[in-house]
């Protein structure tokens, strides 16, 4: 199913500030709320809520800007992995709109405050992580293995991720996870559902909280992960490692790790996408008479034949001597750009030779003819 652009849904630009996004959402949520008899639209209300859930979260917004809706799919299949209205904290916003602690609406997912113990027992995907890895030029060109270290949420071994021991039904909400009340507003009487503070929406409480994880079910641990980096990555390229991020909640899948690369420059080679450029210096005699020149490439040295009369800026293409295209068998090209180096000093004998060369008539050369037209 095709998804609309989230910025378009909220009617804001891609450079919108957090406050502008929040203000746009507040206006649209009030307009499309299902209990608004004049302009209510549940489908649009959910769409607006989904857009706000992504764009109001800095990490999710960054992933969306980079990958679009694909950033939240599982193995390329349509549908968000672990996202629902539960992922968004709207208590303060709806309090401003409707003048009270709104946390649930007829037929719509509970919007109560979420935390490590959500207002639902559904599995939720763990948090994603973004790591920047710096590579040498050769490492990026040829691929390599790197071990990255990061702090991740891991399932608590003491309570097996439950958060406590001796579970029982919550006496405050009777196991529903919600407290229902009625409230008057400008649209009439609303029946509101707020998350039970005692059980935080789960409907269950523990006689004894786990001291290892303080009831969260997860503990923060430093973890080392070996990553295979493909050939040809460049600065700004992101690699997604699925399922290696923080542990999920309520048995949900682990989050993903996004690795963003920064590649160091090379003293000789310059890179443009998959193409490589190399500036090769020539002496005056090599340029005039031609020569054989040994030059470096990404795969070793080669002998290049310099044609007589070569000028600074002349370029030679070496097909297939560039960088491997990621997820492809092809390679870019290498371009050799010649630069003729002029001598700083000449002996008397050399000056005589140069003067003899100056007598060479070049007036018939096209470049001189074109130049003289404007004199």
pTM of the model: 0.55
Contacts of 302 by beta carbon, 8 Å cutoff, 6+ apart = 294, 295, 318
Stretch 269-276: mean pLDDT: 94
Q: Which of 222, 186, 20 is nearest to 100 (CA)?
A: 186
Strands, sheet with 238-241, edge to edge from the N-terminal-most edge strand: 129-135, 257-263, 238-241
Q: Are 234 and 133 in contact (CB under 8 A)?
A: no
Per-chain mean pLDDT for the chain: 80
The string over 71-100, giving b where at least 16 C-beta atoms fall within 10 Å of a residue's C-beta and e elsewhere, is: bbeeeeeeebbbbbbbbbebbebbeebbee
- When pLDDT is cut at 50, 70 and 90, the band that residue 73 belongs to is low
280-315: per-residue pLDDT in tens? 999 988 998 999 999 999 999 999 999 998 999 999
79-100: per-residue pLDDT in tens? 344 444 444 444 445 555 544 4
- Check pLDDT > 60 for residue 109: no
Alpha helices (H) along 68-211: 91-98, 137-142
Q: Which residue has the higher pLDDT, 350 or 315?
A: 315
Q: Which of 157, 133, 128 is nearest to 145 (CA)?
A: 133
Write the DSSP symbol of residue 91. H
Report CA 291 to chain centroid distance, whole Å: 48
Which pLDDT does position 186 carry in this prediction? 47
Which pLDDT does position 79 carry in this prediction? 39
Q: Are 250 and 123 in contact (CB under 8 A)?
A: yes
Which pLDDT does position 103 carry in this prediction? 39
How do beta strands 275-282 and 334-340 pair?
A: parallel
- Check pLDDT > 80 for residue 242: yes
Q: How far apart are CA 142 and CA 86, in angstroms?
A: 44
Angstrom distances, CA of residue 243 to CA of 123, 127, 255: 14, 10, 5
Listing DSSP states for 188-234 in one string gives EEEEEEEE-TTTTTSSEEEEEE-TTTTTSSEEEEEEEEEEEEPTT--
């Amino acid at each position: 199913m095709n998804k609309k652009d989230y910025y378009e849904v909220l009617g804001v630009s891609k450079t919108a500030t957090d406050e502008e996004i929040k203000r746009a959402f507040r206006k649209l949520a009030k307009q499309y709320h299902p209990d608004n008899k004049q302009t209510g639209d549940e489908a649009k209300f959910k769409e607006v809520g989904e857009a706000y859930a992504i764009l109001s979260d800095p990490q999710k917004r960054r992933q969306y800007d980079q990958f679009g809706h694909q950033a939240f799919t599982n193995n390329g299949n349509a549908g968000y992995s672990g996202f629902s209205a539960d992922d968004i904290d709207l208590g303060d916003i709806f309090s401003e709109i409707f003048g009270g602690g709104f946390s649930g609406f007829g037929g719509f997912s509970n919007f109560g405050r979420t935390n490590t113990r959500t207002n639902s027992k559904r599995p939720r995907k763990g948090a994603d992580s973004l790591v920047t890895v710096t590579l040498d030029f050769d490492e990026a060109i040829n691929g390599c293995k790197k071990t990255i270290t990061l702090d991740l949420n891991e399932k608590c071994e003491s309570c097996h991720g439950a958060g406590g021991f001796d579970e029982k039904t919550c006496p405050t909400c009777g196991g529903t996870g919600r407290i229902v009340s009625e409230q008057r507003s400008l649209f009439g009487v609303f029946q509101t559902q707020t998350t039970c503070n005692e059980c935080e929406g789960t409907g269950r409480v523990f006689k004894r909280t786990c001291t290892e994880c303080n009831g969260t079910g997860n503990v923060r641990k430093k973890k080392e992960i070996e990553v295979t980096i493909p050939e040809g990555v460049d600065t700004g390229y992101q690699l997604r490692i699925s399922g290696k991020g923080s542990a999920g909640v309520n048995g949900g899948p682990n989050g993903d790790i996004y690795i963003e690369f920064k590649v160091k420059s090379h003293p000789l080679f310059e890179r443009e996408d998959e193409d490589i450029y190399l500036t090769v210096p020539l002496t005056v005699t090599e340029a005039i008479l031609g020569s054989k020149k040994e030059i470096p490439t990404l795969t070793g040295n080669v002998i290049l034949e310099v044609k007589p009369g070569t000028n600074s800026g002349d370029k030679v293409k070496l097909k297939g001597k560039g960088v491997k295209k990621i997820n492809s068998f092809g390679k870019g090209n290498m371009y050799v750009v010649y630069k003729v180096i002029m001598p700083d000093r000449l002996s008397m004998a050399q000056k005589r030779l140069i003067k003899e060369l100056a007598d060479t008539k070049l007036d018939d050369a096209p470049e001189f003819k074109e130049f003289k037209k404007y004199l």
